[in-house]
């Protein structure tokens, strides 16, 4: 369904229903945004990126270095 078809249907409704339509659209938008956050979309392509430093630094030392860099 296109936005034009939806707009045509909305235009057929009585004007007192427009606030309800707006509320429902806001609800759908917030629900969609929440799902995007829940899905995470996190990538772990950085994993193992510091493997070459494991013989030079301990994990605690690397943590301290990270704190210095912030």
Q: For the chain, what are the domain ranges? A: 3-69
Residues 6+ apart with CB under 8 A from 70: none
pLDDT for the residue 11: 94
Are the C-beta atoms of residues 22 and 14 closer than 8 Å to each other? Answer: no
pLDDT for the residue 41: 62
pLDDT for the residue 52: 80
- Distance from chain centroid for Cα 28: 15
Taking only the tens place, the pLDDT of each residue in 6-63 is 999 999 999 999 999 999 999 988 887 766 555 566 666 677 777 787 788 888 888 8
pLDDT band at 5 (very low <50, low <70, confident <90, very high): very high
Longest CA–CA separation in the chain, Å? 72
């Amino acid at each position: 369904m296109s936005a034009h078809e939806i707009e045509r249907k909305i235009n057929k409704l009585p004007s007192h229903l427009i606030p309800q339509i707006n509320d429902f659209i806001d609800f759908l938008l917030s629900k969609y945004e929440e799902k995007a956050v829940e899905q995470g979309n996190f990538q772990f392509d950085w994993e193992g990126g510091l493997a070459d430093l494991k013989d030079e630094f301990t994990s605690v030392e690397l943590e301290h270095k990270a704190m210095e860099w912030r």
